[in-house]
A and B are shown apart, each in its own frame.
Chain A
C-alpha cells in the first residue's frame, strides 16, 4: 500500500474519531451541497470549497444562487487526466464553470426528489476541453436508529476534445454515463458523514478522449453548521491503488 494511501486512511480514521467530542443530540445538519466530485441537487445561497490533493493539485469551487431557481459557479478542477497511458496520466489543471437550474424536493409533487440540470464546462477562456450536461436527483432520509442517508443519482452527457478527435463524433452510448453518491451519517456521530461516490470523469489518453470511472470515498466532519472538512480518496480506472489520490477539502455554505 502506498505511503499516500496510508496517510489518507490515517487521516480518515482521525476524522471519524474527532466528532466524539461533539454532542450526539445536535440537530441534523443541512443537506450536503456536494459529495466528492458531484454536487447534490440541493439549494443554497452560496457555497465555497477549497482543497488540495497529496500531489499538490488545488481544487476550488465557488457557487452563488441566481434567484430561487438557478446557480452559477466557477473554480479550478482536478478531474481531467491527460497522459500517454491510463496509468501514467496526470491531472491537467483547468478552470471550470457551471450553470444549474434546479427544483427543490417536493416542489412539484409529494416524494419528488430535488432535481437539477447542470452544464459544466472545463477549459480556459479560449478553449474548452470537456463539457458535461447532467441531470441529477437528490434526496435524504432519516433511518431512525441507523442515522441519516443522503443520496444522489444522475446521468451525464459528456463531450471531450483530444488530439485524435472529439467525443461528440461517437455514438451517444459512448458519451452518456451514470453517477451516484451516498452520504451516511451514523446516529452516534451526527456531525460526521461517510461518503461514497461512483462517477465518470474525462481523460485524454494518447490523444484519444474518453470517460473513465472514478470511485471516491471518504469522510466529512461538519465542524460548524456552515462549514465542514472532508478527507477523501479518489481511485480511477487504469491507475491501480498506487494511483489513488488523497484530498483534504474545507467548505462553507450559506
Chain B
C-alpha cells in the first residue's frame, strides 16, 4: 500500500512539471512574455477571452468547447504585461458552467479560482447532505460538508441504517483538460476524510484517496478513477479495527460515471462509487468489520441557470445484492457563485 501511495503522490506532484510547455528549440529560454498583438492586447489571455467571450445566454456546449480549447492554448503561467495600456478593454472572463460533475462520485472537474459552490441534498428517508467548496487557483479545490453515505449494520444480515451528518473535508488538486497535451483528460488527485463520529459506544472515521480522469466526448462527459479507502472503528475499551489492516486489493476500488446532455439544460447522469459500511458487533467479544459497498446512482440534472442546478434521482446504497428496499429518491440543489472571485479581482485592480 505504501508503494502504491508513493506512486500516486509522485504522479500528482510531477504532473504540473510535465505540464510546462517545452521551450522552442534554438530559442532562448524564459521568461515567455505575453505575445502582444497589434491592438495592444495580450495575446494568449485575450484570445482566451475572445474564444470564450459570451454571457449566460451562450449555450453550454459552445461555452464549454470554447473554454476547453482556450485552456488548451493558454500557457500555464501568465506574466503581467509591462506596459498595460490603460485604454485596453477589460477582458471578459470565461463563464464555464459552475455546476457540473457526477451526482455523488468525485470527478476531475474543478471550480475556477475563487469560485464557490454549495449543494444541499434531501432524500426520502429524511437524509441530508451538505457540501461547500471553493476553487483555489484553478488547480485545486477545498471543501467541507456532511454526508450520510456511510452505513451501519448490527450483523451481516441485519438492516443497514445510515450514519447521519458525518462531517467531512476534501482537498483536490489537478489539471484541466488539454493542459498537458491535446486530448489529455482532466486529472485530479483528491483526498477526503471524515471527522471522528461517536455512535453505538464507538468512534469511527474514514478517509479516501482518489485519482480520477474526466474527458468530454461530444455532449457526454466520462469520468473514471480509482479510490483507496481506509476506515477505523475505535471501541470504548481502546480496541480498534482498521480497513488498512487487510490487503491492498481489498481497499482499492474502481469507480466512474457519465453525464450526457440529453435535452436542452437537462443531463442524464449515472455514477457508481463506493462507501464504507460498518458492521457493528453487539457482542463485544466479536470483532467489528468494515466493508466497502458499491453505490449506484442515476438521475437528471436540470440547469436552471449557469449558476443554479436542480438534480433528482435514485441512489442504491448497495447495488451488489440488488436490494431495492434501501434505494432512496433524492433531490439536490447546487449553487455556484463568482462573488469571491470578483471581489479578489477587484482588489487586484483587474
- A136 at the binding interface (Cβ < 8 Å): no
| Residue in A67, A68, A98 with the greatest tally of chain B CB atoms within 10 Å | A67
A130 to B325, CA, bound (A): 6
A70 touches B326 (CB 8 A): no
B327 touches A101 (CB 8 A): no
Residues of B within 8 A of A68 (CB): 263-266
Asked whether A159 and B126 contact (CB < 8 A) given A99-B299, A101-B268, the answer is: no
Q: Determine which of B263, B310, B314, B323 lies in contact with A119 in the assembled complex, contact meaning CB atoms within 8 Å.
A: B314
Asked whether A125 and B262 contact (CB < 8 A) given A70-B300, A101-B298, A131-B327, the answer is: no
Minimum CB–CB distance from B122 to chain A (whole Å) comes to: 11
Interface 1/0 per residue, A48-85 and B, CB below 8 Å: 00000000000000000011111010000000000000
- B321 at the binding interface (Cβ < 8 Å): yes
Q: Determine which of B262, B300, B313, B322 lies in contact with A157 in the assembled complex, contact meaning CB atoms within 8 Å.
A: B322
Q: Which residue of A lies closest to B301 (CB)?
A: A67
- A34 at the binding interface (Cβ < 8 Å): no
A133 touches B268 (CB 8 A): no
B263 touches A159 (CB 8 A): no
Interface 1/0 per residue, A8-21 and B, CB below 8 Å: 00000000000000
A126 touches B125 (CB 8 A): yes
- B331 at the binding interface (Cβ < 8 Å): yes
Minimum CB–CB distance from A108 to chain B (whole Å) comes to: 10
- A168 at the binding interface (Cβ < 8 Å): yes
A-side interface mostly: strand
- A236 at the binding interface (Cβ < 8 Å): no
B324 touches A119 (CB 8 A): yes
B300 touches A101 (CB 8 A): yes
Asked whether A67 and B265 contact (CB < 8 A) given A99-B299, A168-B322, the answer is: yes
- A197 at the binding interface (Cβ < 8 Å): no
Which residues, 281 to 323 on B, are CB-close (under 8 Å) to A?
298-302, 310, 312-314, 321-323
A125 to B264, CA, bound (A): 34
Which interface class (under 10, 10 to 19, 20 to 34, 35 or more) fits B? 20 to 34
B-side interface mostly: strand
Which residues, 117 to 163 on A, are CB-close (under 8 Å) to B?
117, 119, 121, 125-126, 128-133, 157-161
A67 touches B325 (CB 8 A): no
A-B pair number, CB within 8 angstroms: 84
Which residues, 93 to 113 on A, are CB-close (under 8 Å) to B?
97-99, 101
B124 touches A121 (CB 8 A): yes
- A249 at the binding interface (Cβ < 8 Å): no
A105 to B269, CA, bound (A): 21
A157 touches B324 (CB 8 A): yes
Asked whether A125 and B300 contact (CB < 8 A) given A68-B263, A99-B314, A159-B323, the answer is: no
A119 to B313, CA, bound (A): 9
Residues of B within 8 A of A70 (CB): 266, 299-300, 312-313
Interface 1/0 per residue, B120-155 and A, CB below 8 Å: 000011100000000000000000000000000000
Which 3 pairs across A and B sit closest by C-beta, in order of nearness?
Answer: A67-B302, A159-B324, A131-B324
Q: Jot down 26 A-B pairs with beta carbons below 8 A, ordered by A.
A: A66-B300, A66-B312, A67-B266, A67-B300, A67-B310, A68-B263, A68-B265, A69-B268, A70-B312, A70-B313, A72-B331, A97-B124, A98-B329, A101-B299, A101-B300, A117-B298, A119-B327, A121-B324, A128-B326, A132-B324, A133-B327, A157-B324, A158-B324, A159-B324, A168-B325, A172-B322
